[in-house]
Structure 1
Amino acid sequence: MFNSLPKNLTSALLLAGVLTGCSMAPTYVRPTAPVAGTFPAGEFATTQSEADAVALGWRQFFPDQRLQTLIAAALVNNRDLRTAALNIEAASAQYDITAADALPNVNGGFSRTRARSAASQLIPGQAPVGTSYAVGLNMTAFELDFFGRVRSLKDAALASYLSTEQARLSVQITLVSQVAQAYLAERSFAEQQEIAQQTLDSRLQDYKLAKMRFDVGASSALDLRVSETLVQSARVSFATLARQKGQASNALTLLVGTPITDLPAPQTLASQQIVTDIPAGLPSDLLIRRPDIRAAEQQLRAANANIGAARAAFFPRISLTAGIGNASSSLGDLFAAGSRTWSFIPQLTLPIFEGGRNRANLTLSEVRKNIAVANYEKTIQTAFSEVADALVARGALAEQLDAQQAFLMAQQERVKLTDLRFKNGIASSTDMLVAQRDLFSAQQALVQTRQLRLNNAIDLYRSLGGGLNETTQAPIATPVQNKTVN
């Protein structure tokens, strides 16, 4: 059938196959990072050597096996991460749809037509009702992309796909850090609740002794009421922490996406086996490490490509419609000699007057690119600020933790001395009440400070782009299939 394809149609199809068109999109230039070359050296900033947080797998950064189990379950069951993965599939399908416009659409068809002609138009001897059959291949309105409109739209769709892929990686980094911090919150409330329980048990014993002393007239009603006040205060604290621990546990289950049982025994917040401390690299490394920065840059590339499509709209659009096949008034003669048909319809569309639509679309594309530049720069500044804040807080929290531990030891010694003075009749019951309350507050504050220090390490790990890899040898990467950046 195709051996007799008309020469002009053959030439047009060959031209369409090799012609990709020039791109009218502006040459992409990555904007200069609007941040300093190094992180600010605050009063407590550290000066450790550079380390690659991305290469440090989350199992190595979080050696706590209980936490590892929770993170692994969250990466499988968390609905936000699952939605982000589905968004990648949707963006990939949208890219494939756009890329298909660069290729001709060829359809096969068969038709049977039965029609009646007007009597005035009939040739003598011709029947008024006739039947015709047709079969063939048709190519409909295939655009020859001389000015790169289709190519620019394809590049924009590819950049949007890559941006969605990086967004999923950013969601994963955030999820890993959120699970870890929710786990620390639950552990912090659990440890504080345990302290409150121990304090309540101790104060109940003290209250029993105070009650016995009061019953035999060895102490006053004031001393008894002071002891009772301490008991009720501990009960309030215990109930409050039980509620907070339960809510923190529910929040952790929501992040994980499914209830987890038979977990390994938890580590205490004082343990060195929960997180691994890491030094920080330079701000320029964030351009490679952070998926959110990569996503913002791909969005900028998409906006840049859309300018090319808007520019191409000012130029003529050339499209081809062609077909080849057979036609006959009899189904049996459909493939007989002389039944061959073909058509070739080139079409040129030249914009003459469109009420400023094309100019407005170009202006809109340029404004959207400027918005994308601003978003890209803001993303870099945000990343820089997060790392800088984490570095400054790391040194300060280390100093704060040392001070808090020393403060607790001083409070414990104070309670011992006050208790001794109270038993010897030198200190009042009020002095004992204040000392015990301060000790309980110091114990709670130490647990909270440990949690803050661990959260800070997690913040630094996340802000440097850590949380994608499970091990340093096997980084997780989402394949881009056969899509490439032009």
Structure 2
Amino acid sequence: MFNTLPKHLTGTLLLAGVLSGCTLAPTYVRPEAPVAGSYPAAAEGKAQLDAVELGWREFFPDQRLQALIASALENNRDLRTAALNIEEARAQYGITAADALPNFNGNFSRTRGRTASDQLVPGQPAVGTAYAVGLNMTAFELDFFGRVRSLKDAALATYLATEEAKQSAQISLISQVAQAYLTEQSYAEQQRLAQQTLDSRLDDYKLDKMRFEVGASSALDLRNSETLVQSARVSLATLVRQREQATNALVLLVGKPLGDLPAPQSLSDEKIVTDIPAGLPSDLLNRRPDIRQAEQQLRSANANIGAARAAFFPTISLTAGIGNSSTSLGSLFSAGSRTWSFVPQLTLPIFEGGRNRANLSLSEIRKNLAIANYEKTIQSAFREVSDALVARGTLEEQLAAQDAFLKAQEERVKLTDLRYKNGIASSTDRLNAQRDLFSAQQSLIQTRQLRLNNAIDLYRSLGGGLNENTVTTKS
């Protein structure tokens, strides 16, 4: 009979392998994208590469910014956490996948015991020793109804979702570093402007004080000039604080002190690609990793329904073993010492207090939640792209208008100064003109930052930032 065990066991395992491909999970169907077929604002201009193919080194040509992004990708703790989450999900998937395979254990045992005197066989000692060695397969579930298969599919989808989450975190990190860099540079340029303005106003104040001392101007003129100086000092102190705080935020994103970096470029000189074609909203389903992550989470919830359904059906498990047993260690492997066991077990759920039905209902509810989350993720992505496209069309006009406004303010200051020196304009007119000029200069810097931030927003919302260098397609 020992020779028949491998046939029984092999046949049973082969049958389990064939039936393990079955599953009670619903057939997965991707939900329809709940968005319009086109964006409200059409993309102007065309480019040879879309955002996904365009590497971030090509999109951000500033070498200082490139160094910051490279350092952040290596040292940022949030991105490192996302990578560790992938490792965790991969390990969990390996544990779940192992349940689909039989587990074999080798064992050796030595048992020593005493037999009761009324149970002794004549000639048998009261104290005896037994040795056993063998190979056992413990409680291997024959997955006839796909419970283990469904759990494996759910674990795989969860693992893939964490992969997508890391890619989404990388895209977000690159855009955050770029925008934090622009914020720091904007404050730096405004700080230099405030310092230049303060120096200029101090010179004007000295002249106004000399004019007042010789009686060429009134005390009001002197106080107006002093007001301009103190206003510039307030602005300078504020910008110094804001720049330092922006630098701290950048250091946190980069993950280490900034150190030696290439010289920064002016916001007016920085050439960041802005004419990225938006494509169709349906493209976002494959471009955006956060959408792919939400879909993998939906697949996982769908597979868990199969596991919940399988709980209503019998569970069939198999325990088997083969080995040798003897009362003497020397005769453990002699003829006649071989043993084997083959124990199939069927467990049929009869009464479980509604647990299985509630678990199935919970799985279906979680799937519906996953569908809602998937659809909301698509809608959010659609809005982000739409907002970026709308802003791109208006920010260029705003920047041109702001530049023209600054030139007009500069001419106004020149004319007001000339009229003030000739005694036609008052010191109040001169005060207002210089304040408006400083405000217009700051607004121009801020508008340039907004335009560049908009380019980054569009690049991120279209899924750009996964590649370091531009993807080249062979013709």
TM-score range, shorter chain: over 0.9
> How many angstroms apart in 1 are the aligned matches of 2:190 and 2:9?
82
- Name the residue aligned to 1:14: 14
- Name the residue aligned to 2:311: 313
Query: Structure 1: which 4+ aligned runs deviate by more than 6 Å?
Result: none
Query: Is the 2:2–2:339 contact (alpha carbons within 8 Å) kept by the matching residues of 1?
Result: no
Counterpart residue identity of residue 261, structure 1: G
- Name the residue aligned to 1:349: 347
Measure how far apart 1:46 and its partner are.
4.0
DSSP 3-state at the match of 1:331: coil
Distance 1:474 1:144, change over 3 A: farther
1:48 aligns with 2:48: no
DSSP 3-state at the match of 1:158: helix
Measure how far apart 1:159 and its partner are.
0.2
> How many angstroms apart in 2 are the aligned matches of 1:352 and 1:334?
44
Query: What are structure 1's unaligned runs of at least 5 residues?
Result: 476-486
Distance 1:433 1:224, change over 3 A: same
DSSP 3-state at the match of 1:300: helix
CA shift digits 1:275-303 (9 cap, x unpaired):
55423111011001000000000000000
CA shift digits 1:339-383 (9 cap, x unpaired):
000011000011111111111111110110000000000000000
> How many angstroms apart in 2 are the aligned matches of 1:383 and 1:412?
42
DSSP 3-state at the match of 1:137: strand
Counterpart residue identity of residue 82, structure 1: R
CA shift digits 1:185-218 (9 cap, x unpaired):
0000000001000000000000000111111121
CA shift digits 1:193-246 (9 cap, x unpaired):
010000000000000001111111211111111111100000000010000000
- Name the residue aligned to 1:144: 142
Match of 2:85 among 87, 90, 100: 87
Query: Is the 2:45–2:275 contact (alpha carbons within 8 Å) kept by the matching residues of 1?
Result: no
Query: Is the 1:170–1:290 contact (alpha carbons within 8 Å) kept by the matching residues of 2?
Result: yes
> How many angstroms apart in 1 are the aligned matches of 2:272 and 2:239?
22
> How many angstroms apart in 1 are the aligned matches of 2:63 and 2:405?
32
Counterpart residue identity of residue 47, structure 1: E
Measure how far apart 1:415 and its partner are.
0.4
> How many angstroms apart in 1 are the aligned matches of 2:43 and 2:322?
75
> How many angstroms apart in 1 are the aligned matches of 2:452 and 2:14?
64
> How many angstroms apart in 2 are the aligned matches of 1:178 and 1:380?
21
- Name the residue aligned to 1:25: 25
- Name the residue aligned to 1:37: 37
> How many angstroms apart in 2 are the aligned matches of 1:38 and 1:473?
26
Match of 1:446 among 444, 469, 473: 444
Measure how far apart 1:49 and its partner are.
3.8
Measure how far apart 1:474 and its partner are.
7.7
> How many angstroms apart in 1 are the aligned matches of 2:270 and 2:75?
28
- Name the residue aligned to 2:435: 437
Measure how far apart 1:125 and its partner are.
1.9
> How many angstroms apart in 2 are the aligned matches of 1:247 and 1:6?
72
What is the TM-score normalised by the length of structure 1?
Answer: 0.95
> How many angstroms apart in 1 are the aligned matches of 2:9 and 2:458?
63
- Name the residue aligned to 1:268: 266
Measure how far apart 1:47 and its partner are.
3.2
Measure how far apart 1:178 and its partner are.
0.1
DSSP 3-state at the match of 2:374: helix
Query: Is the 1:58–1:467 contact (alpha carbons within 8 Å) kept by the matching residues of 2?
Result: yes
State how 1:377-396 maps to structure 2 within 5 Å. Answer: 377-396=375-394
DSSP 3-state at the match of 1:218: coil
- Name the residue aligned to 1:186: 184
> How many angstroms apart in 2 are the aligned matches of 1:143 and 1:4?
21
> How many angstroms apart in 2 are the aligned matches of 1:46 and 1:148?
48
- Name the residue aligned to 1:197: 195
CA shift digits 1:55-107 (9 cap, x unpaired):
00000000111100100110000000000000000000000000000000000
> How many angstroms apart in 2 are the aligned matches of 1:156 and 1:30?
16
Query: Is the 2:183–2:246 contact (alpha carbons within 8 Å) kept by the matching residues of 1?
Result: yes
- Name the residue aligned to 1:232: 230
- Name the residue aligned to 2:369: 371
Counterpart residue identity of residue 172, structure 1: Q
- Name the residue aligned to 1:250: 248
- Name the residue aligned to 2:175: 177
- Name the residue aligned to 1:480: none
Query: Is the 1:21–1:147 contact (alpha carbons within 8 Å) kept by the matching residues of 2?
Result: no
Tell me the number of residue pairs that the alignment of Structure 1 and Structure 2 aligns. Answer: 472
Counterpart residue identity of residue 9, structure 2: L
- Name the residue aligned to 2:102: 104
Measure how far apart 1:273 and its partner are.
2.5
> How many angstroms apart in 2 are the aligned matches of 1:461 and 1:146?
49
> How many angstroms apart in 2 are the aligned matches of 1:99 and 1:120?
52
DSSP 3-state at the match of 2:157: helix
1:473 aligns with 2:471: yes
Query: Is the 1:35–1:381 contact (alpha carbons within 8 Å) kept by the matching residues of 2?
Result: yes
> How many angstroms apart in 2 are the aligned matches of 1:170 and 1:474?
22
DSSP 3-state at the match of 2:330: helix
> How many angstroms apart in 1 are the aligned matches of 2:105 and 2:79?
40
Distance 1:300 1:434, change over 3 A: same
State how 1:198-213 maps to structure 2 within 5 Å. Answer: 198-213=196-211
> How many angstroms apart in 1 are the aligned matches of 2:288 and 2:349?
44
Query: Is the 1:63–1:275 contact (alpha carbons within 8 Å) kept by the matching residues of 2?
Result: no
Match of 2:461 among 432, 445, 463: 463
Query: Is the 1:275–1:454 contact (alpha carbons within 8 Å) kept by the matching residues of 2?
Result: no
DSSP 3-state at the match of 2:433: helix
> How many angstroms apart in 2 are the aligned matches of 1:363 and 1:454?
49
Query: Is the 1:69–1:263 contact (alpha carbons within 8 Å) kept by the matching residues of 2?
Result: yes
Counterpart residue identity of residue 446, structure 2: Q
Query: Is the 1:394–1:457 contact (alpha carbons within 8 Å) kept by the matching residues of 2?
Result: yes
Measure how far apart 1:156 and its partner are.
0.3
Q: For the aligned residues, what is the CA RMSD?
A: 1.5
Measure how far apart 1:124 and its partner are.
1.5
